[in-house]
Amino acid sequence: MGITAKNIVQHEIIGQKVNVSKATNKSLEGITGTIINETQNTITIQSDDKTREVLKNQIKLTFTIKGDKVEVDGKVLTGRPEDRIKK
């Protein structure tokens, strides 16, 4: 089964286009790009010629999946990616 708005947190998010819609650090809001790496507590976003590493528990991300915008609280993504995908 492919990635959908309902099951995005159970899928690999590396390679997905994303926008930081909210952040405790306001300078991170509006970052748009492609997720190129994910660790237990961080997500790395490649945007144009910049690479930004952001803490998952301090952001909300907006993904566009098949034309639908889906906002995901980074706290839901916290943890080892391989463990989250197994759930």
Q: What is the pLDDT of residues 14-69, one digit of tens each?
A: 999 999 999 999 999 999 999 999 999 999 999 988 999 999 999 999 998 888 89
**7 pLDDT more than 90:** no
Q: Where are the domains of the chain?
A: 8-78
pTM of the complete model: 0.90
Q: What is the pLDDT of residue 1?
A: 61
Phi, psi torsion values for 8, nearest 5 degrees: -55, -35
pLDDT given for residue 69 in this prediction: 92
pLDDT at 11 > cutoff 90: no
Q: What is the pLDDT of residue 83?
A: 84
Provide φ and ψ at 34, rounded to 5°. Answer: -110, 135
Q: Which CATH architecture has domain 8-78?
A: Roll (2.30)
> Which H helix or E strand runs over 79?
none
